[in-house]
Amino acid sequence: MRDEEPPEDDGWTEDADPESVARKILLDQLSIKARSRKELEDRLARRNVPVDVTARLLDRFEEVGLVDDEAFARAWVEGRQRSRGLATKALAAELRRKGVDDDTTKTVLAEVDPAHEEETAAVLVRKKLRSMRGLEPQVATRRLVGMLARKGYSPGVAYAVVRREIGAAAESLDAGAEWAGDD
């Protein structure tokens, strides 16, 4: 019985071929989820894979389509919009942190429909508005605009969506009831 945990089996031994080890690391990483080229470069650097081996393998992986920053960025944008309701500004920052170059980021984010982005903001506001029925309209507005700002929405879009959704919520209340919940 061992006292310590076994080392991570990435195939790295003193007499191992660095290219074989790096290929295994890349394939293991890509089997978990799609990654940007920069994320993979960083992973190989942490494992002390020589830079020339890293560059050669990543170039080859790009040639065969296993590494594709544009496809990665599209999938990232779609997933983060769906799961977190992020606007293009926040998505651009995330892609930058993932190492996706600015041209690719601009290309992918240009495909985002502004109407879809505004509808996503409206859905976020409607959802949050349900828990704010007892608040004064100014307080609710400030909090909702702040929430949208943290998700990367511009002030203009945030205020327009919040005003529209608060107005719609006020209209849907029973006759005589005020927004602040006074029945």
Residue 26: both structure tokens together:
């890349």
Asked if residue 183 belongs to a domain, the reply is no
- Domain with 85, as residue range(s), is 69-110
Asked if residue 2 belongs to a domain, the reply is no
Q: How many residues does the chain have?
A: 183
pTM of the model: 0.77
pLDDT in tens, 156-165: 999 999 999 9
pLDDT band for 18, please (50, 70, 90 cuts): confident
Asked if residue 5 belongs to a domain, the reply is no
Q: Same structural domain for residues 126 and 167? A: yes
Distances (CA, A) of 63 to 51, 60, 67, 73, 104: 18, 5, 8, 17, 17
Q: Cα(129)–Cα(101) distance, rounded to whole angstroms? A: 37
